[in-house]
Structure 1
Amino acid sequence: MLLAFSEHRWEASVAELAEVIGSPVATTYRYVQLLKELQLLEEARSGRYHVTSQVMPLARAARLANDLARLARPTMEEAARELGETILLFQHFGDLAVCTDRVECDRAMRFTFQPGHSIPLGAGATGKMLLALLPDGEREQLVADIAREHGVEVREELKHALANRYAQSWGEIEDGVWACSVPLETGRPRPAVLSLVGPAARISEDARREAIDALQLYAERIRKAVTSYSL
């Protein structure tokens, strides 16, 4: 039930929560009451609930426990300085790409993706690259779901992403934004990608190609750091 809340749904009624978690309303109401007693949920306005600041230590604990983010951070900082754009680390969770870490550049028009921000698999460069990295059966099921629910066919884009080891997008998540994403080959079961986002107007075609090449090199450096740490 706690995972039903996100930046897209920060408050919900008992009936809405019941639908999300697939539980009868009466049972869901008991869950809500228990979480209220634990001070993890509170009533915002009549009949609607939101999580409390009591959950924030969980987010901090998750970040501290994520050794991939910790190992990737120095390389991400260097990439942001060299490329002059925001660098993001995303990992796969369920049907979402979740931002694990972010390093902003010092130029105007920075982006405010926060760790914990999520986007659907198949959306934007990051969502497509992560979706392409999933095992065949899981990927095909999600591709079929995307086509059925949104009327969008992404198979060709995923084939390109897998073959070329990058994906790019223009304005799919935010208007006027160009993004590219490359795989992080860490040898771990949870797929991860390194992404760059910036205003499309200030990134020329040549600069985009250079950014993709550079991002792939940075991803390889992170892979080596993770491998050395694992050994």
Structure 2
Amino acid sequence: MSSGISEIEPASAEPIVFRWYEAEVAAVTVVTPRVKSVRLRCAIAGRQRAGQHVDVRLTAEDGYRASRSYSVASVPDESGTLELLVEGLPDGEVSGWFFDSAEVGDKLELRGPIGGSFSWDGPDGGPLLLAGGGSGVVPLLAMLRRRAQVAPDIPAALIYSVRTRAEAIALDELEARDRDELNFSLFLRTTREGEEGRIDAALVRAALERIGAPRKVFLCGSNRFVSPAADLIVGAGVPATIVRTERFGE
């Protein structure tokens, strides 16, 4: 891989989203036993809307390439970096490198930001109803961070389904927001511990009662999570036309 960090060329005829830019690992920290936070320094940092993702590409010494899409967890700031929250997956070429090998100073490539319809900013308004399963909470976390940054008065609720509390991403942050932010509510369900189980109609009703009729709804997670969650939300009277989803895996 080449050295140095490329700069965006404003006059380029190729759209920014379709171009690859070199990035450098700025920090790697453990978030949960299965997830690491990776800070990347890159020319496209700060251009993303909350909820968007980037493509990551690795190139081996023999020229072999592997790529993967990751939601951006951070919001635009002046740091020149963006944050990915990467779950280590069995046999995952890119996630395995991030989780087991990535070190500060390593180089890779990024393309994006991508995903205009699954994104939110303060002027888009609310109330906001968010529902995430497992690592699907990452783009929703970015939305909540952006909301706190620019529009804290907008009511928002997050329904978060995860196997155990130990596997919940950014749980300390989310619980602090639930405690300290007047207009935000967290509804956490753990599927493999306690008696709460999976989300149900009663939980959806409770979230809607807390924020009122939502104007924006975003769901992200596996197919097994998103489909029933969307059915519950629409079944509670939320128009299907305002529901935006992102799915991965089974």
Q: Please report the TM-score for the alignment, with normalisation by the length of structure 1.
A: 0.30
Greater Rg over alpha carbons, structure: 1
- When normalised by structure 2's length, the TM-score is 0.28
Structure with greater strand percent: 2
Higher relative contact order (CA 8 A, sep 6+): 2
The structure richer in helix per residue is 1
